[in-house]
């Protein structure tokens, strides 16, 4: 099961990958050539790839403060060395591929906001390489100051997805183990209120609600609450194995 309820209609158009890709061609014709090259190779099933990735996932860190049972980091998976991506290494990566990329997602094994350079990385994607679509997912269980919120909002970020699987602490913490719902909602309202105060259209803010037996009774209330506080959309999705934020 998965469905998205859109409160902000502009979000529907801007989330379409092809929209972002074609919008990017005004900045860099290389993206079009690279995209067609990769798609052509895929259709021909060639064994040697000669293009660059156009849709990229970059993990700012593989560390998290929560212990979500379906997430490898939450389960304590030790197959990857715990680390935080340095800005210098990130810059080296994005300098090599950025001219060919139309989408960057800063989400994988960890909580992206634990990397203090995240907002700077987003800004570099947008200003130095004009990458049209940049997003990340977060559990938002961080100490977010107003300064932090402003830096993130002004970074050029296109989309922010916040994972909140309940509207009561008792329900929320059954999956988001170690999470503090009050802190999450406070941070979320801080971001929404400052975005409104600054007159910004972006980042679009999504609420992600993973459905389990223990929280199904709160779906309707979560939808109403999300609409009330001003998020742009809420995504209701069934939980599945190997899920992070």
Each residue's pLDDT tens digit, 162-194: 999 999 999 999 999 999 999 999 999 999 999
Whether residue 14 is predicted with pLDDT greater than 80 in this model: the reply is: no
Which phi and psi angles does 54 have, rounded to 5°? -110, -10
Instruction: Output the pLDDT for position 24.
Output: 53
Q: What is the mean pLDDT of the chain?
A: 90
DSSP letter assigned to residue 235:
E
Region 46-67: mean pLDDT is: 92
Residue 84: CB atoms within 10 A of its CB come to 15
Q: How does residue 25 score in pLDDT terms, banded at 50, 70 and 90?
A: low
Region 24-30: mean pLDDT is: 64
Instruction: Evaluate whether 201 touches 10 at the Cβ level (below 8 Å).
Output: yes
Say if domain 2-238 classifies as CATH 3.20.20.70: yes
Instruction: Evaluate whether 241 touches 71 at the Cβ level (below 8 Å).
Output: no
Rounded Cα distance between 163 and 210, Å, is: 8
What are 117-174's pLDDT values in tens digits? 999 999 999 999 999 999 999 999 999 999 999 999 999 999 999 999 999 999 999 9
Instruction: Output the pLDDT for position 214.
Output: 96
Stated as kind and residue range, the H or E segment containing 42 is helix 30-44
| Listed range (25-34, 190-199, 230-239) with the worst mean pLDDT | 25-34
For the chain, domain boundaries? 2-238
> What 3-state DSSP class applies to 190?
helix
Stated as kind and residue range, the H or E segment containing 161 is strand 159-163
Whether residue 104 is predicted with pLDDT greater than 80 in this model: the reply is: yes
This prediction's pTM: 0.89
In percent, how much of the chain has pLDDT > 90?
A: 69
């Amino acid at each position: 099961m998965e469905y998205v309820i859109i409160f902000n209609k502009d979000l529907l158009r801007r989330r379409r990958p092809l929209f972002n890709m074609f919008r990017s061609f005004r900045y860099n014709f290389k993206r079009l050539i690279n995209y067609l090259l990769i798609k052509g190779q895929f259709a021909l099933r060639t064994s040697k790839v000669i293009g660059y990735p156009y849709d990229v996932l970059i993990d700012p860190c593989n560390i998290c403060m929560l212990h979500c049972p379906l997430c490898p980091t939450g389960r304590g998976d030790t197959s990857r060395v715990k680390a935080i991506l340095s800005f210098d290494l990130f810059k080296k990566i994005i300098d090599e591929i950025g001219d060919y990329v139309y989408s960057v997602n800063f989400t994988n094994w960890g909580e992206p906001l634990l990397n203090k350079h995240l907002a700077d990385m987003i800004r570099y994607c947008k200003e130095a390489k004009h990458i049209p679509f940049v997003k990340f997912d977060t559990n938002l269980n961080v100490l977010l100051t107003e300064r932090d919120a402003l830096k993130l909002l002004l970074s050029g970020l296109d989309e922010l997805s916040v994972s909140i699987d309940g509207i009561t602490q008792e329900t929320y913490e059954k999956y988001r183990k170690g999470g503090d719902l009050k802190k999450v909602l406070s941070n979320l309202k801080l971001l929404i209120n400052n975005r409104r105060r600054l007159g910004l259209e972006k980042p679009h803010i999504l609420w992600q609600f993973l459905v389990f037996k223990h929280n199904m009774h709160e779906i309707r209330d979560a939808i109403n609450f999300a609409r009330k506080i001003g998020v742009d959309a809420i995504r209701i999705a069934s939980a599945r194995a190997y899920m992070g934020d």
